[in-house]
Every structure is written in C-alpha cells, then in structure tokens.
C-alpha cells in the first residue's frame, strides 16, 4: 500500500514538473493568463484546477488503456487516423517551440536575476539536460521528486507572506477582462494538458496499476492548483508586474529576500525539468520515424531549440503561448467528450 502511494506521488511529481515550465515557475505565464485579470484571474485558476484534476487523470487512464507508447497513439485515438498524423506533426513543432521557450527562460534567469550572460544559462542547461537524459525515465522521476515539493513549499510561503485583498482584486487589463479570463483559462488548460500528454502518455503505459495513475493524476492536479493560487496571490502584490521576465523572483526579492537565491535555484530547477520532459516526448516521436541513437536525436533537438531561443523569452511567451493554447482547445474538447475504452 505504501509503495503504491509512493508510485502515485512519483506520477504526480512528473505531472506537476511537466506543466510547471519556464513560464509557470517564473510567474510570467501566470501573469499572462491570470494575474492581469485580477479577481477574474482567480476564478480562472479554479476552472483550470478542475480541468487539471479530472481531465488530466482521464488522459492518464486513457493512455494506459490504449497502451500508448508515445503521445502519437493518443492523438490518433482522439482525432482519428485521418487527422492524427497532422496533429502529431503539429505537436512536434509545438514541443520544439516549447523547448526553445524553456531554454530562453533559463537564460533569462541567469541574466535578469544573477547578472550573468544569457548564453551561460542556455549552455549550462543543455549540458545538464544531456547528462540527465542518459538515465531516461529514472532521471525524469529523480529531478521532479526534488524540485516539485520545494516549489510547492515556497509558493505557499510567498502567498502567506504577501497576501493582500486589495492587490488580489486589482485588474491590470481593460474593461473586457471580465470576458477574456474565461477564454484564457480554457486555452491555458488546453495548452498545458496537450503538452503534458507528450510525457504522461508514455509514462502511463509503464505503470501497471490503474489506481496508481488515478491517484497520481488527482494529486498532481491538486498540487498544480495550489501552486497556481499561491503564485497568483503573491504576484498580485507586485506593481508593474507586466514588465518583468521573472516576476516571481521579484516578489521573493521584496518579500523573503533571505530565501531569494534558493528560490532562484528552484525556478531554474522547474525550467530544467520541463526541458527534460519535452525532450522525452520529442525523442519518443522522432525515434519512431527515424532509427538513430537517442542521444544524437536529443543533441540535435537541443541545438535547434537553442537557436530558436535567441528570439527572447518574453517575446516567445506572449506570442506563442496564446496561439498554442487556442489550437489545443480542440484536444481538450475531445478529451472531455471521448469515453474511456473498457479495460
């Protein structure tokens, strides 16, 4: 029983670590989709939390029952054979773009918070990623089990320390915000669940007990909701929050400076886990098309992503994330409507 719960916590940690990427951990993504809408943003987080809990769990169980070796099988099941191939190519491009965003986020952390070169952050992340990818799924588990609990702890600490009702209800958008938050919430959930499928689909197939997956999905969804709410509360207190690449670090700097560098390490750790997760999904798909050594594929992906990351972190987040989110809405709808196949 204890071993079963530990396995569920591992699944939850990978789920959280996959969703909590550069934009999420740094706070930039939360600002774009929630905090700029004030109190409406909090309502959006609650909607997203329910989708993470129920639809995320359903995706894990569905992947297990169809024995998905990668997210390709999941996409074919949802969209059918005719459109499944097109969606898989689309997913490949999104994951590549997302990996570029993560590398750009790593560079932004080094530049904005440590006063070092962006290039140093990107190169160090690439080297560490190659080292961890040698261990496959075990490396993915190991990094997430260290970073995710620390992120939850510090997010809650920041929220408690910086809580303010007045800041929480302040809206940083125009009068149309009361309508935009709904679309923002669903596009955010759609995007993150679609991206998480690249890791969660093959992961689910490796877990023998469906109960482990169910608990892992529910716990992962709850943890993600808790981090979102805590981060939203903390970010609401930051003046001119739209101007920062790493707004969560700015909140930590002004609220709990003694933990500032520890928190920077945690943010970097989450960016790092997302790079690993995205590579895990990309590698699985590319190897199914081209039979070459996996480490050559990984190195090639990282080189391409590093080149794309030169565009700049904020520019990538603000332009690519909303587009990806809208396109992934179709997958969210299909996940909601599709019935689970019988065991």
Residue 309 has pLDDT above 80, yes or no: no
Q: Quick: pLDDT tens for 19-57.
A: 876 556 667 778 888 888 888 888 899 999 999 999 999
Q: Model confidence over 242-253: pLDDT tens digits? A: 677 677 777 777
Query: Is 50 exceeded by the pLDDT of residue 302?
Result: yes
Comparing 146 with 167, the larger pLDDT belongs to: 146
pLDDT of residue 175: 45
- Say yes or no to pLDDT of 180 above 70: yes
pLDDT at 171 over 60: no
pLDDT the model gives residue 73: 85
147-151: average pLDDT = 79
pLDDT category at 322 given cuts 50, 70, 90 is low
Q: Is the pTM of this model over 0.95?
A: no
Question: How many Cβ atoms from other residues are within 10 Å of residue 6's Cβ?
Answer: 11
Res. 169: pLDDT tops 70:
no
Q: Is 134 exposed, middle or buried (0-12, 13-18, 19+ CB in 10 A)?
A: exposed
Give the model confidence (pLDDT) of 200-254 as tens digits: 888 887 777 888 888 999 999 999 998 888 888 888 777 776 677 677 777 777 7
Least confident range from 61-70, 103-112, 129-138, 321-330: namely 321-330
How far is 343 from 341, CA to CA, in rounded Å? 7
pLDDT at 343: 67
Q: Is the pLDDT of residue 323 over 80?
A: no
Which pLDDT belongs to residue 328?
A: 81
Contact 199, 281 (CB under 8 A): yes
Report pLDDT for 24: 64
Average pLDDT of 162-173? 55
The single-letter DSSP state of residue 113 is: I
- Averaged pLDDT of the chain: 79
Q: Is the pLDDT of residue 112 over 70?
A: yes
**Nearest partner of 184 among 51, 18, 274, 12, judged by Cα:** 51
* Among the ranges given (31-35, 269-273, 317-321, 324-328), the one the predictor scored with the smallest mean pLDDT: 317-321
Please report where in the chains the tokens 């940083």 appear, as a residue.
Answer: 172
CA distance 150 to 269: 10
pLDDT given for residue 308 in this prediction: 76
Residues of the chain above pLDDT 70, percent: 85
Q: What is the DSSP letter of 176?
A: T
Least confident of 45-59, 64-78, 171-185: 171-185
Angle formed by the axes of helices 71-108 and 177-206, nearest 10°: 120
Report pLDDT for 319. Answer: 62
- The CA dihedral of 202, 313, 55, 140, to the nearest 10 degrees, is 30
Q: Which two tokens stand for residue 96?
A: 């590549």
């Amino acid at each position: 029983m204890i071993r079963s719960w530990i396995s569920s916590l591992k699944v939850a940690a990978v789920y959280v670590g996959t969703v909590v990427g550069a934009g999420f951990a740094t706070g930039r993504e939360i600002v774009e989709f929630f905090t700029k809408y004030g109190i409406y943003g909090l309502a959006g987080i609650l909607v997203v939390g329910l989708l993470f809990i129920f639809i995320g769990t359903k995706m894990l169980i569905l992947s297990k029952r169809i024995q998905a070796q990668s997210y390709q099988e999941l996409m074919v099941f949802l969209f059918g054979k005719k459109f499944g191939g097109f969606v898989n190519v689309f997913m490949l491009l999104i994951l590549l773009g997302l990996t570029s965003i993560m590398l750009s986020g790593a560079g932004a952390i080094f530049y904005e918070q440590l006063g070092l070169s962006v290039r140093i952050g990107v190169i160090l992340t690439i080297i560490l990623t190659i080292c961890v990818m040698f261990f496959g799924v075990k490396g993915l588990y190991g990094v997430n089990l260290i970073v995710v609990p620390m992120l939850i702890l510090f997010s809650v600490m920041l929220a408690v320390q910086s809580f303010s009702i007045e800041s929480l209800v302040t809206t940083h958008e125009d009068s149309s915000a009361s309508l935009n938050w709904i679309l923002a919430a669903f596009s955010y959930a759609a995007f993150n669940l679609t991206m998480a499928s690249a890791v969660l689909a093959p992961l689910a197939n490796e877990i023998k007990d469906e109960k482990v997956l169910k608990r892992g999905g529910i716990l992962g969804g709850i943890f993600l909701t808790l981090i979102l709410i805590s981060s939203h509360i903390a970010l609401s207190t930051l003046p001119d929050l739209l101007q920062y690449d790493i707004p969560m670090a700015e909140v930590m700097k002004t609220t709990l400076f003694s933990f500032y560098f520890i928190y920077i390490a945690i943010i970097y750790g989450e960016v790092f886990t997302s790079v690993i997760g995205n590579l895990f999904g990309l590698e699985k798909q590319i190897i199914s098309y081209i039979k070459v050594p996996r480490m050559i594929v990984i190195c090639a992906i990282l080189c391409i992503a590093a080149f794309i990351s030169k565009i700049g972190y904020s520019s990538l987040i603000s332009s690519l994330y909303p587009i990806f989110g809208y396109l992934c809405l179709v997958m969210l709808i299909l996940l909601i409507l599709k019935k689970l196949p019988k065991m």
